[in-house]
């Protein structure tokens, strides 16, 4: 049996989310979850979102965004969860189904246990739609920094500094220049591969190559840690290490790796739904692929070329 479910991540002005405790006699009694419920025949995921939230907590949704879609198997059922971020509603949140309700910060929830299907959302909650990657080899610094300022103005929140064709000293200078622009705007800067440099220049994180991932024993502290993966095995290694998020490639054919056979969306979806680590899709993708990426379980798009266009 295949069940589709709409799930609402309600977010208040303090960046807290609403969790409800499953009451007796529901399955998973006592566990905490986001409000929502099954999409009925003839309903869209948005129809079900409006109806379920009205029935469960008595409010009318006024502002939301479609978010990631995740697939699970449980008790012989295939379950597809359609997550929505909900920013606005009319009425007062009220328990309508005898469930306890609580507002809590998702990264440090004050209730437990939380349903396993929702643990992914804890990791994914603060991640942006796009993970930009620098590409100086195909442009000039002047043009790049104009592009960067433009992208930040359009909402870019995270960038990886990755340049394989310049010296270490040039890379360090460039990375510092990127940080100088990004930090005041609240844009996270991730340094490719070099943990020591990330600490030295006070970057927000480090991005591990797949070969770094295989050799590393434990992830560095006080840094956002992301990693590149190309296989299911590498993803399992990253999951055990509790990496913050991953980049899986290549989805389509790319200019930089024309000989690599693309994974394709079907295989991508199978891989990402087996783990709780958020994964960005990379390889021949542009901002127009964002909605397709979400439908296939990605948290967003990583891009080295099209994002700067």
> In terms of domains, do 86 and 232 share one?
no
Asked if 87 and 216 sit in the same domain, the reply is no
Considering only residues 82 and 25, tell me which one the structure prediction assigns the higher pLDDT.
82
Considering the domain architecture, whether residues 304 and 167 belong to the same structural domain is answered as yes
> CB–CB of 129/91 below 8 Å?
no
The pLDDT assigned to 24 comes to 86
212 is in which domain, residue-wise? 130-308
* pLDDT attached to residue 77: 85
In terms of domains, do 27 and 50 share one? Answer: yes
Same domain? For 138 and 164 the reply is yes
In angstroms, the CA 132 to CA 11 distance is: 26
**Are residues 40 and 14 part of one domain?**
yes
Residue pLDDT, tens place only, 248-279 = 999 997 666 566 789 999 999 999 999 999 99
Alpha-carbon separation of residue 83 from 192, 252, 283 (angstroms):
31, 26, 25
Question: What is the number of domains present in the chain?
Answer: 2
Single residue among 72, 101, 121 that ends a domain in this structure: 121
Task: Give per-residue pLDDT as tens, 140-162.
Answer: 999 999 999 999 999 999 999 99
Q: Using alpha carbons only, how large is the chain's radius of gyration in Å?
A: 21
Q: Is the pLDDT of residue 184 over 90?
A: yes
pLDDT at 52 over 80: yes
Residues 246 and 293 in one domain: yes
Residues 147 and 177 in one domain: yes
Same domain? For 234 and 216 the reply is: yes
Each residue of 186-214: pLDDT tens digit? 999 999 999 999 999 999 999 999 999 98
Q: What is the pLDDT of residue 102?
A: 98
Read off the pTM: 0.94
CB 38 within 8 A of CB 48: yes
Shared domain for 32 and 49, answered yes or no, is yes
Can you tell me the distance from the alpha carbon of 117 to that of 219, in angstroms, rounded to the nearest whole number? 25
Residue 18 phi/psi, 5° resolution? -95, 125
276 phi and psi angles, rounded to 5 deg: -100, 5
CATH code of the domain containing 70: 3.90.79.10
Answer whether residue 289 shows pLDDT above 90.
yes
Instruction: Judge contact between 225 and 245, C-beta under 8 A.
Output: no
Enumerate the β-bridge partners of residue 206.
191, 225
Residue 115: is its pLDDT beyond 80? yes
Cα distance between residue 278 and residue 259, in whole Å: 27
Average pLDDT over residues 93-106: 96
pLDDT at 25: 85
Tell me, yes or no, whether 161 and 282 share the same domain.
yes
What CATH number did the domain enclosing 142 receive? Answer: 3.20.20.70
Q: Pick from 72, 100, 121: which residue ends a domain? A: 121
- Binned at pLDDT 50, 70 and 90, residue 74 comes out as confident
Q: For 94, phi and psi rounded to 5 degrees?
A: -140, 140
Residue 259: count other Cβ atoms within 10 Å of its Cβ: 5
Strand partners, 302: 131, 282
Strands (E) located in the chain: 2-10, 17-21, 32-33, 36-38, 60-74, 77-90, 101-104, 130-133, 158-161, 188-192, 205-208, 224-229, 245-248, 279-282, 300-303
Q: What is the pLDDT of residues 29-39, one digit of tens each?
A: 999 999 999 99
Domain boundary among 121, 156, 171: 121
Q: Are residues 176 and 257 in the same domain?
A: yes
């Amino acid at each position: 049996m295949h069940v589709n479910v709409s799930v609402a991540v309600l977010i208040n002005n303090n960046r807290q989310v609403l969790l409800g405790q499953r009451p007796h006699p529901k399955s998973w009694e006592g566990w905490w979850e986001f409000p929502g419920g099954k999409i009925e025949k003839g309903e869209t995921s948005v129809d079900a979102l409006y109806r379920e939230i009205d029935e469960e907590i008595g409010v009318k949704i006024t502002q939301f965004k479609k978010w990631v879609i995740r697939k699970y198997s449980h008790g012989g059922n295939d379950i597809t969860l359609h997550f929505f971020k909900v920013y606005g509603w009319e009425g007062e949140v009220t328990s309508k189904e005898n469930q306890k309700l609580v507002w809590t910060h998702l990264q440090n929830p004050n209730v437990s246990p939380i349903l396993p299907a929702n643990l992914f959302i804890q990791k994914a909650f603060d991640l942006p739609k796009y993970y930009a990657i620098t590409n100086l080899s195909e442009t000039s610094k002047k043009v790049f920094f104009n592009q960067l300022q433009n992208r930040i103005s359009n909402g870019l929140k995270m960038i990886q500094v990755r340049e394989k064709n310049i010296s270490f000293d040039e890379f360090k200078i460039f990375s510092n220049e990127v940080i100088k622009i990004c930090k005041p705007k609240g844009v996270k800067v991730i340094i490719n591969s070099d943990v020591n440099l990330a600490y030295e220049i006070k970057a927000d994180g480090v991005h591990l190559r797949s070969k770094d991932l295989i050799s590393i024993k434990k992830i560095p502290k006080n840094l956002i840690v992301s990693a590149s993966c190309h296989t299911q095995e590498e993803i399992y290694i990253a999951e055990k290490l509790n990496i913050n998020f991953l980049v899986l490639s290549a989805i389509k054919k790319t200019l930089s790796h024309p000989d690599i056979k693309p994974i394709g969306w079907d295989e991508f979806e199978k891989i990402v739904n087996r783990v709780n680590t958020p994964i960005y899709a990379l390889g021949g993708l542009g901002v127009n692929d964002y909605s397709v990426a979400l439908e296939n379980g990605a948290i967003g798009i990583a891009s080295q070329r099209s994002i700067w266009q």
